[in-house]
Amino acid sequence: MKNYFNGYNAGPMDFGQPEQHKKDGNSSSAVTLLEEGGVRFRIYEQGVNSVKVQFDDEENEVRYPLVKDRDGYWSLELYDIPAGIHIIRWYFDGEEKLCTTAPVIFYGNGARNYIDVPDEKADCYILKDVPHGSVRREYYYSSVTEQFRICWVYTPPFYDESRKSYPVLYALNGGEENETAWLWPGKINLILDNLTAENKIEDMLVVMMAGYVFARDKIRNNAILENFSALMEQDVIPFIEDKYRVIPCKEYRAIAGNSLGASQAQWTAFNHPELFDYIGVFSGRILEELPGQRGHYSPADFFIEENADIFNAQHKLLFYARGTEEYAQQQEKEMEELKKRHIEAIFYSCEGNHSWMVSRQAMLYFLPLLFREESEKQQR
């Protein structure tokens, strides 16, 4: 097996460290990635007569049977699996259960087994022998929800040894996901480590928090846009700037999200131009409407030609990214519409559909664009 896949298998594919089945004092993962799009399923399971796996993204819903050997291990190897994240359903005697020795992510509003088959660009987000940042779990109290909430904070290598203050990126997850999304399927900590080691980005903190903000006794529709914007302004940003060494001004703040998080990034940044200088919109809507407290919202409401100079001056970067297979028929129209309204933006496109493969590539392109101007000013 190539080191390429060893590094990938050793990466943070797991939602934490799953409990391992053990036999004869040895433990093993139920999933191992192989070369050429292959994957090995292998599990020690007693007291069952059949074990099967199913790819949740297959239209034919085939359940592939694992074969039991004389030692009690059930195994199966499959090849030519397309690159990307695949949700895997495990069936034990026909009953679907979560496999505790296989990688798990939070997806579809719950814990799901999955595999992550690397593509040709995986070198950017595999675990390498480079200096690593730290990922910290934080609890903060929200005045919006009147509850404690969780966020994850990535700090760059040598943060604890340093006395400097850093810029910060707030990374937002997609729909039916939570604050772990940019860590597990997004692999943002590994992307940051590798780009930092190659001196391609500025040192920065990254903050990840759940996108759904259900306030007590308030309208459910507000949870996606209005409440989230209030959460950022009133709770998250003050908490981070009070506890971490970050530079507390908009020139050193960025916000980016994919899918649902893309809409939240636009809504928050456009309604609060005093908060963020850098905006990343991955696999998000540009001209379509979204429901909100004030009826329906569209980012295009802010793209007014007569106010283009004012709008452009409020941000240093407005970055849009999409896969070639998502909203493809709209992208050219939207680009032309923004140009017609004299809105300054960068558009990035890569192969793929509405998936984490596209979001990773978008983040890889987005990160080197952040905070360069501010860093150059500090060095003068």
Q: What are phi and psi of 44, to 5 degrees?
A: -95, 115
How far is CA 63 from its chain centroid? Answer: 29
Q: What are phi and psi of 13, to 5 degrees?
A: -75, -20
Q: What are the pLDDT digits (tens) for 186-208?
A: 999 999 999 999 999 999 999 99
pLDDT of residue 220 exceeding 80: no
Check whether residue 160 and residue 187 sit in a common domain.
yes
Check whether residue 9 and residue 37 sit in a common domain.
yes
Write the DSSP string, 150-161.
EEEEEE-TTTTT
Check whether residue 89 and residue 132 sit in a common domain.
no
Check whether residue 49 and residue 160 sit in a common domain.
no
Q: Can you tell me the distance from the alpha carbon of 184 to that of 13, in angstroms, rounded to the nearest whole number?
A: 6
CATH classification of the domain holding 56: 2.60.40.10
Check whether residue 20 and residue 146 sit in a common domain.
no
Q: What are the pLDDT digits (tens) for 308-334?
A: 898 899 999 999 998 888 876 677 778
Number of domains in the chain: 2
CA angle 110/284/198 to nearest 5° reads: 85
pLDDT of residue 288: 64
CA angle 302/303/309 to nearest 5° reads: 105
Check whether residue 114 and residue 133 sit in a common domain.
no
Check whether residue 190 and residue 223 sit in a common domain.
yes
* Structural contact between residues 181 and 174, judged by C-beta atoms closer than 8 angstroms: yes
Check whether residue 270 and residue 169 sit in a common domain.
yes
Check whether residue 110 and residue 52 sit in a common domain.
yes
Q: Can you tell me the distance from the alpha carbon of 171 to that of 359, in angstroms, rounded to the nearest whole number?
A: 11
Residues ≥6 apart with Cβ < 8 Å to 129: none
Q: Which residue range(s) make up the domain with 95?
A: 3-118
CATH classification of the domain holding 185: 3.40.50.1820
**Which residue among 118, 146, 164 closes a domain?**
118
Check whether residue 100 and residue 143 sit in a common domain.
no
Check whether residue 147 and residue 108 sit in a common domain.
no
Grouping H, G, I as helix, E, B as strand and the rest as coil, residue 108 is coil
Bigger pLDDT: 16 vs 62:
62
Average pLDDT, rounded, for the chain: 84
pLDDT of residue 41 exceeding 90: yes
Check whether residue 159 and residue 103 sit in a common domain.
no
**Which residue among 118, 144, 167 closes a domain?**
118
pTM for the structure as a whole: 0.87
Grouping H, G, I as helix, E, B as strand and the rest as coil, residue 33 is strand
Q: Can you tell me the distance from the alpha carbon of 76 to that of 65, in angstroms, rounded to the nearest whole number?
A: 7
Q: What are phi and psi of 116, to 5 degrees?
A: -130, 100
pLDDT of residue 225: 80
Q: How would residue 83 be classed by pLDDT, with cut points 50, 70 and 90?
A: confident
pLDDT of residue 7: 41
* Structural contact between residues 242 and 217, judged by C-beta atoms closer than 8 angstroms: no
* Structural contact between residues 102 and 29, judged by C-beta atoms closer than 8 angstroms: yes
**Which residue among 118, 145, 171 closes a domain?**
118
